Structure 1
């Protein structure tokens, strides 16, 4: 760790106690990468002690349930707004740049990125923007290291099996517009989206998605803190990953 990271960790320990960052420290120990589920082998960091559950009940975590309920209740308006944006403001969507790949048949309209809300999206998709701000950003449930975006897979698009970088955030999908022939698999378990409902999964497990339908599939993806993480851990992880990215020039 850099001196800046060590100083930040020390300040967090003073505030929350000497053992408050024990799991983060364990994650950073040499050899820690071997202590994981086999289907998390492609993830870079695994915070120990979190549930080894690929799929989660979207309504099963008291911390996250208000976010899920708010997005599901707002689905009709969200679908109307993003459909209008896709039809009339296509230039607002861009090729999605995952850390592993960039795909032209995977289009994204961002609401939150680089640790802040994308203000330009407020005028285009105001309902989703407002729900995100009120229920995820202001409440500190969004993981500021990642993002929120409308994810549109064009017909024939395939997202190949992969693991994301870590397990201390969790991925929420609001099914906005779902044609027949679309599916997602996490840790080998295949599911489909139900329009207007949310899915919640740990994307440190290997996962893939495809659109075998005849029109675009759109979901709203929100990167939230894993409910098994503590406030001091979240603070430390934010400092740690931000510093790593700075050093890597990302």
Structure 2
């Protein structure tokens, strides 16, 4: 760890107790914090002690339920604004740059990125911007290490099976515009999006998605802190990942 990481970790132990960030520290030990599920093996970090559950009930967590309800309540406006933007402001969308690849048939419109709200999206998708800001950013439920964006899969697009980087954040999908022929598979279980409703899953498990329909499929994605992580752990993880990215020249 760097001196900055050591300093922050020491301050967290002093404020919250010696055991407050032990799960983060165990994650950094050789072996990555212990056994992991076979379908999580490609993830970079698995923090021990978090439920190894691929699919989660989006309404089950008191911390996350207000985000889910706010998104679903505002779905009609979010969909209308997204549709208008897709027709008249396509320049606001870009090829999605996943950490593994870049896909032209996977388009993204960002609401939150690089640790902050994307101000341009306030004009392009004002309802989504407001809900993400009020329900997730202002309440610190969003994982600032990641993002929120409209994810649009063009007809025929396939996202190949992969694991994302870690298990201490969790991926929430609001199904904005869902044609027939779309699905997502997480840890071998395939589900379909229900327009206007949310799905919640742990993307450290291997997952894939596809659009075999005839028009674009769009979800609004938000990377939220895993509800089983604590405040000191979130602060430690933010410092840790920020320092790793700095050393790698990635922000």
Residue 232 of structure 1 pairs with residue 232 of structure 2: yes
Residue 177 of structure 1 pairs with residue 177 of structure 2: yes
CA contact (8 A) 1:78 1:128 kept: yes
Name the count of aligned residue pairs.
250
User: What is the rounded CA distance, in whole Å, between the counterparts of 1:34 and 1:217 in structure 2?
Assistant: 38
Give per-residue Cα distances to partners, 1:29-73, cap 9 Å, x unaligned. 011265211110110000100011000001011100000000000
Q: In the alignment, which residue of structure 2 is the partner of 1:161?
A: 161
User: What is the rounded CA distance, in whole Å, between the counterparts of 2:84 and 2:32 in structure 1?
Assistant: 47
Residue aligned with 2:194, SS? coil
Residue 112 of structure 1 pairs with residue 112 of structure 2: yes
C-alpha deviation, 1:230, in angstroms: 0.2
User: What is the rounded CA distance, in whole Å, between the counterparts of 2:111 and 2:16 in structure 1?
Assistant: 32
Q: In the alignment, which residue of structure 1 is the partner of 2:130?
A: 130
C-alpha deviation, 1:174, in angstroms: 0.2
User: What is the rounded CA distance, in whole Å, between the counterparts of 1:16 and 1:181 in structure 2?
Assistant: 49
Residue 54 of structure 1 pairs with residue 24 of structure 2: no
User: What is the rounded CA distance, in whole Å, between the counterparts of 1:34 and 1:86 in structure 2?
Assistant: 45
- Counting only pairs closer than 5 Å after superposition, residues 9-20 of structure 1 correspond to structure 2 as 9-20=9-20
Q: RMSD over aligned Cα, in angstroms? A: 0.6
User: What is the rounded CA distance, in whole Å, between the counterparts of 1:237 and 1:162 in structure 2?
Assistant: 22
C-alpha deviation, 1:75, in angstroms: 0.1
Give per-residue Cα distances to partners, 1:96-124, cap 9 Å, x unaligned. 00000000000000000000000010011
Q: Which runs of 5+ in 2 are unaligned?
A: none
* TM-score (norm. length: structure 1): 0.99
Q: Which runs of 5+ in 1 are unaligned?
A: none
User: What is the rounded CA distance, in whole Å, between the counterparts of 1:7 and 1:79 in structure 2?
Assistant: 45
Residue 195 of structure 1 pairs with residue 179 of structure 2: no
CA contact (8 A) 1:33 1:44 kept: no
User: What is the rounded CA distance, in whole Å, between the counterparts of 1:183 and 1:124 in structure 2?
Assistant: 27
User: What is the rounded CA distance, in whole Å, between the counterparts of 2:124 and 2:100 in structure 1?
Assistant: 28
Q: In the alignment, which residue of structure 2 is the partner of 1:211?
A: 211
Q: In the alignment, which residue of structure 2 is the partner of 1:97?
A: 97
